[in-house]
Amino acid sequence: MLSLTPIQSVTSTALVFVVSLMGIFGLNNCILACFRKICSYPPSLIQKGMNGCIEWPFVTIQVATYNEGPTVARLLESCLKIDYPSDKFEIIVVDDSTDETLSILMEYEKQYYPKIRVIHRESRAGYKAGALNEALKNSRGEFILVLDADSVLKPDFLKKTIPLFLANRKLGFIQGRLKYLNKKKSWLTRTLAIVNDWFVYFLQSSLSKCGMIIGFMGHGGIFRREALDDVGGWATDTIAEDLDIAYRIQLKGWDALYFENASSLEEVPPSYYSAVIRFRRHFKGSVQNLMKHWRSIIRHRSLSLFKKIEALMQLAYSLVYPLGLICLALTITTYAIVPRNIIDEFWLSPAGFLSSSLLLVFFPQIAIMIAPIPSFIVALAVSAFILLFFPGFVKILGHEILGERGGIDVRAVFGLILIWYDNMLNCLFPIANILMGRKEEWVPTERIKKRNTYADKGGRKKEFALRLAASALITLLFINILLSNLSLNSFGILLPAISWLYSAYLVIRKR
Supply the DSSP string of 16-82, one letter for each residue: HHHHHHHHHHHHHHHHHHHHHHH----HHHHHHHHH--SSPPPEEEEEEESS-TTHHHHHHHHHHT-
Kind plus residue range of the DSSP H or E element containing 486: none
Range scoring the smallest mean pLDDT among 173-177, 442-446, 507-511: 442-446
pLDDT at 308 over 80: yes
Average pLDDT over residues 194-219: 89
Distance CA 13, CA 452 (A): 45
Report whether pLDDT(38) > 90.
Answer: no
pLDDT over 70 at 450, yes or no = no
Confidence of residue 247 (pLDDT cuts 50, 70, 90): very high
**Which helix or strand (DSSP H or E) is residue 422 part of?**
helix 410-426
Among 322-326, 412-416, 437-441, which is the least confidently predicted range?
Answer: 437-441
Mean predicted confidence (pLDDT) in 175-195: 91
Residue type, position 443, single letter: V
Compute φ and ψ for 468, nearest 5 degrees.
-65, -45
- The pLDDT value recorded for residue 252 is 95
pLDDT digits (tens, 9 = 90+) for 18-32: 999 999 999 998 888
What type of residue sits at position 400?
E
φ/ψ (deg, to 5) at 506: -65, -35
- pLDDT per residue as tens digits for the range 485-500: 989 999 999 999 999 9
User: Of residues 91 and 413, which shows the higher confidence score?
Assistant: 91
The Cα 239–Cα 318 span in angstroms is 14
pLDDT at 401 exceeding the cut of 60: no
Of the listed ranges 247-256, 421-430, 439-448, 496-505, the least confidently predicted one is 439-448
Burial of 88 (0-12, 13-18, 19+ CB in 10 A): middle
Is 397's pLDDT higher than 80?
Answer: no
pLDDT class for 220, splitting at 50, 70, 90? very high
In this predicted structure, what is the pLDDT of residue 47? Answer: 46
pLDDT at 1: 45
The fraction of the chain above a pLDDT of 90, given in percent, is: 67
Sorting pLDDT into bands at 50, 70 and 90, what band is 433?
Answer: confident
Region 175-199: mean pLDDT is: 90
Q: Residue 397: exposed, middle, or buried by beta-carbon count in 10 A (0-12, 13-18, 19+)?
A: middle
Closest residue by Cα to residue 156 from 71, 264, 45? 264
| Alpha-carbon span 145 to 428, nearest angstrom | 34
Average pLDDT rounded to a whole number, residues 293-308:
94
Predicted confidence at residue 391, as pLDDT, reads 63
The reported pTM is 0.90
SS3 state of residue 405: coil
How many residues would you count in the chain?
A: 511
pLDDT in tens, 46-81: 545 444 447 899 999 999 999 988 889 999 999 999
Average pLDDT of the residues in 199-225: 91
Q: Which of 435-444, 454-463, 479-488 has the highest mean pLDDT?
A: 479-488
Region 167-189: mean pLDDT is 92
Say whether domain 42-268 belongs to CATH 3.40.50.720.
no
pLDDT exceeds cutoff 90 at 387 = no
| Residues 492, 474: Cα–Cα separation, whole Å | 11
Strands (E), 155-252: 171-180, 221-224
How do the domains of the chain map onto residue ranges? 6-33+320-508, 42-268
**Percent of the chain with pLDDT strictly greater than 70:** 89
Side chain identity, residue 413: V
pLDDT at 406 over 90: no
How confident is the model at residue 327, as a pLDDT? 96
Map residue 147 onto helix, strand or coil. Answer: strand
**Cα separation, 480 vs 497, whole angstroms:** 15
Query: Across all residues in the chain, what is the average pLDDT?
Result: 88
Question: Could you tell me which residue, 251 or 39, shows the higher pLDDT?
Answer: 251
